[in-house]
Amino acid sequence: MATTASNKRKPNEPLGLKGLLHWFTPTGFREDVLKKRLNISENLLQKFKQNLQPKKKIRLSAYIGWTIVFVFLMECFTGMFLMMYYHPTVAEAFANVRYITNIIPYGWLIRGIHFWGSHIMITLVLLHLFHTFFKGAYKAPREMAWLSGVILLFLSLAFGLTGYLLPWNQISFWAVTVVTEVPMAFPYIGHYLKLIARGGENVSQVTLTRFFAMHVMALPALTTFFLVLHFLPIKKYLIPKDLITYAIAILFCFGCLISLATLSPAPIHDKADPFHTPDKVKAEWYFLACQEILALAEHLDFLGSWAPKLLGVIIQIVIIILLFLIPFIDRNSARNPKKRPIAITFLSLSYVAFILLTLMAKFR
């Protein structure tokens, strides 16, 4: 029986042009590329084929998780395109955004996908945490998956905050001014925290440069790291059980991004003016609850002039700490929601409070 070129060749023997051409044959691709070079076994290929078959059981958390990954990749792709035309300078940033939106072919679409992608990503991460808590999937041995998921939530919020300033319009400028003023509530260290965030006393070119560097370098790298860390405890789901249904879910999400970018284009607003303060400065919807907590804390002035700002910030810090400690505070080993009435009640009240605070801040 004649042997193929790949069988005659020793494992460490140079490939040569003939061997390279052999890669493009069905046998060479399977034996040389998949098995020897990529170390992909027949079992893995067979499992991949089996996973194309639809399954009756739907894992909602897995669908949301993979959709989050897709949206993050879309944000990276559209962000790379926007960086080709964007200059992070006070003199050019606003003009660049208008140029991308109005002049560059389909620039409005790319910017709209990037704009709405951040909103969808934060929404999906919140839903993912809600579903994970509801199903008790944060319990041992998945504490690390929960902790990394909470970190991914705050990284998503950081993406929203840092990206919010980049268009350098009036709304984003004053919203960031208000947000970076919050650390002043802390005695002694508050002023230094504000200087670190802004790079100076006021929101300026240094602030824009820092936010841009965080948005395009530090945050994508950290998000990628914690996404990998998040999937490690549940690595058996790295190859989904129903690839076709997952593909449909991702295509639906992509359709939503296209529709939102088309029907409700990303706004431009007016150019930032440090000498004109708008009547009402409101953050994006995902920060409105925090803004309302600070507003409600102003009624605590009877405790002293120090109380409103400091207690408003402390309340939010306590909420964040509790969010991280949930897997260690909840000692009930049951995962069935019916057997965890206290935890489910706490979850429901928390999300109702978040929605109410957001609406109160929206219509204040």
| Distance separating alpha carbons of residues 360 and 363, to the nearest angstrom | 5
- Which pTM was predicted? 0.84
Give the list of residues 6+ apart from residue 339 with CB closer than 8 angstroms, or none: 332
What is the structure's pLDDT at 277? 83
What is the structure's pLDDT at 244? 76
Domains in the chain, ordered, with CATH? 60-362 (1.20.810.10)
169: three-class secondary structure by DSSP: strand
Q: Helix-strand-coil percent breakdown of the chain, rounded to 5? A: 70, 0, 30
What is the structure's pLDDT at 169? 95
Find the angle CA(35)-CA(37)-CA(42) to the nearest 5 degrees: 15
283: three-class secondary structure by DSSP: coil
CA 79 vs CA 75, 113, 217, 246, 254: distances in Å: 6, 10, 11, 24, 16
| Distance separating alpha carbons of residues 172 and 272, to the nearest angstrom | 8
Neighbouring CB atoms inside 10 A of 93's CB total 22
Neighbouring CB atoms inside 10 A of 107's CB total 18
Closest C-alpha to 199, from 210, 191, 184, 213: 210
- Per-residue DSSP letter, 303: G
CB-neighbour burial class of residue 333 (10 A; exposed 0-12, middle 13-18, buried 19+)? exposed
Give the residue ranges of the chain where pLDDT is below 50.
1-6
- State the number of CA atoms in the 13 A half-sphere of 111 facing the CB: 27
Q: Which two tokens stand for residue 175?
A: 């919203």
**265, 167 Cβ separation under 8 angstroms:** no
In this structure, is the dihedral angle defined by the CA atoms of residues 63, 64, 65 and 69, taken in order, positive or negative?
A: positive
Q: Which two tokens stand for residue 305?
A: 């002039």
| Distance separating alpha carbons of residues 348 and 134, to the nearest angstrom | 9
pLDDT in tens, 208-267: 999 999 999 999 999 999 998 888 766 555 566 677 777 888 999 999 999 999 999 999
